[in-house]
Amino acid sequence: MNFLEEKIITDGKIFDENILKVDGFLNHQIDMDIMRQIACEFKRRFKGDHVDKILTIEASGIAVAVMLANMYDVPVVFAKKNATVNSTDDKYMSEAYSFTQKKMNNIFVSKPYLKEGECILIIDDFLADGQAASALIDIVNQAKAKVVGIGVAIEKGQQKGGKILREKGFHVESLAIIDSMNTETQTVFFRRQ
């Protein structure tokens, strides 16, 4: 059992067979020990890959992306869900359904921040049905940049996102893959990697 699986067992909470709550250390309160170790582990798993930029999506992907970008010494770009008065540039746009917010989000990256030919590492906290990851890939493709890999902290292995992305040939690294959860016993079963 790795550091993240152990943390999920200790501090995660299961609400039904589909909802794992990790907001005590990952996506509301952020545990810096875990965050540093997640960044180190992504660095190890993508060793040898050239990375020009890290792309994530607001809000909970930002912490992991920034810690990893600090190691690579490359910029982070985070896709936004809501245009603001400052969003005046032309944009690459895509759509992703959010299961936790139960709504469709338009997401975008302003065109100056993804350039043709750049090697992009996509980072997020969760991978479930792959909606966010697919939207980010779509945006990278629109920019004619290249996805070098997709790193997620926690993959819900029961949902189809990881399978689809791997079948498409993407290098997906998930630090913990959940195969099933039991609400009554509060047990999580991880996939062996």
Shortest spacing between CB 135 and a second copy, in angstroms: 16
Closest separation between CB of residue 139 and a second copy, Å? 13
- Count of residues that bind a second copy according to CB under 8 A: 44
**Residue 61 to residues 26, 55, 191, 192: CA-CA distances in angstroms?**
9, 9, 23, 24
Cα 68 to Cα 52: distance, rounded to the nearest angstrom: 12
Write out the binding residues for a second copy, residues 134-193 only, by CB under 8 A.
none
3-state secondary structure of 3: helix
Q: How many whole angstroms from its chain centre is CA 105?
A: 16
Instruction: Provide the 10 A C-beta neighbour count for residue 52.
Output: 17
Which span (32-40, 43-51, 143-151, 159-167) binds a second copy, by CB under 8 A? 32-40
Per CB under 8 A, contacts with a second copy among 48-67 are: 58-60, 62-63, 66-67
> Nearer to a second copy by C-beta: 63 or 121?
63
Contacting a second copy within 71-90 (CB under 8 A): 73-78, 80, 82, 84-88
